Copies of this chain bind each other. A is one copy, B any other.
Amino acid sequence: MRESGTGSEDDVLERIRRVFEQLRKQSGGSWSTAGSKFLSLGIGDDAALISGTPNYEMVLTCDWFLEGAHFLRNKHPADAVGWKCLARAVSDLAAMGAAPRCFLLSLALPRELTSSWLDAFLAGLRRAATRFGCSLAGGDTTERREVLINVTVVGEVRQGREVRRSGARPSDLIYVSGRLGEAELGLRLLRQQKRGLNMREPRLRRHLYPEPQLELGRWLGEKRLATAMMDLSDGLSSDLRRLCDASKVGAVITSDDLPTVGIAKVGRKTGIDPLKLALHGGDDYELLFTVSRNKTRQLPRSVGGVAITPIGEVIRKREVMITNGDGRSRVLKPRGWDPFRG
């Protein structure tokens, strides 16, 4: 990340640096909030330097977070934008069973957002960085009419303990963490936003401040319980198909088993179907994983307070099906979020 104190790009960088420098000092002077020596050179040079832990592999992922597509400037608080851009990238590491270590922030923003909006954004980002044990290592900033964000996260996983998408085998059971469709419900409430909608209202929280399932992901990897895993970002109907494609298998899930949002929470008069929310709603950042039948007894009902629910089974035939209570089944079409479908 480039810096110094003359032009306006340098001012933006200085502001970012100051916020994260405080964090570094609070955490005992090390570049890493996790307290390790992982990050040996952070912001302020052409590139960052990191030293991995022996017998660990590094895990690398990046994510777009774009105004208009992933958030709306007039609906989403800047603080939530800051939190969520990091949380969603970190969720990809949770899905590998990895722990986050550091991240790069690429930020493009309009000149008029370089003071109070930027401050609130950085406050949310910093809270997320502290929560996930992840230091700012660098990035790139520029000016743009719209806010564009790209976050790269680097994490670590013990050699051989990573969980890939490709390991699901026929007869494995399929599980999800948490409750599906809550984030989508929050988004709908936000879109219909009436004056005075409280940003702390619990139904919005899951959409604005998602929590990646880091603890569960790592636990499943360390115990070698999951045969395949991914995070639910675009919606179960799209993501389950991706996991099946990567593993060259199919799946049957049971609609009655899905941990949906309660009808009371949705509101009876809204016409919103909790099952559709659970199948096609995006942004949940829960984990979808498969476990070999002979290991399912080792699975508790929850890990670290997060519920684990069996929702179906892996099958040999390469199709994704859903059955309802009366035993009839149909093909589950991928109707999750696809930016190119709009």
Contact = CB atoms under 8 A, between A and B. Distances in A.
A299 B6 CA distance: 33
B64 A59 contact: no
Contacts of A137: 60
A243 to B, nearest CB: 9
Main secondary structure of the interface of A (DSSP, over half): mixed
Contact of A58 (B51, B62, B96, B229): B51
Interface stretch (A37-45, A77-85, A309-317): A37-45
Nearest to A165: B45
A40 B60 contact: no
Interface string A290-306: 00000000000000000
Nearest to A91: B46
Nearest to A5: B245
Contact of A138 (B62, B164, B338): B62
A154 interface: yes
B60 A51 contact: no
Nearest to A92: B46
A96 B245 contact: no
A162 B45 CA distance: 11
6 contacts: A4-B245, A5-B245, A8-B341, A41-B164, A49-B57, A61-B138
Given A64-B140, A64-B142, 17 more contacts: A2-B234, A3-B246, A5-B245, A6-B238, A9-B340, A12-B340, A40-B57, A44-B166, A47-B98, A50-B58, A58-B58, A60-B102, A62-B106, A62-B150, A62-B152, A63-B106, A142-B339
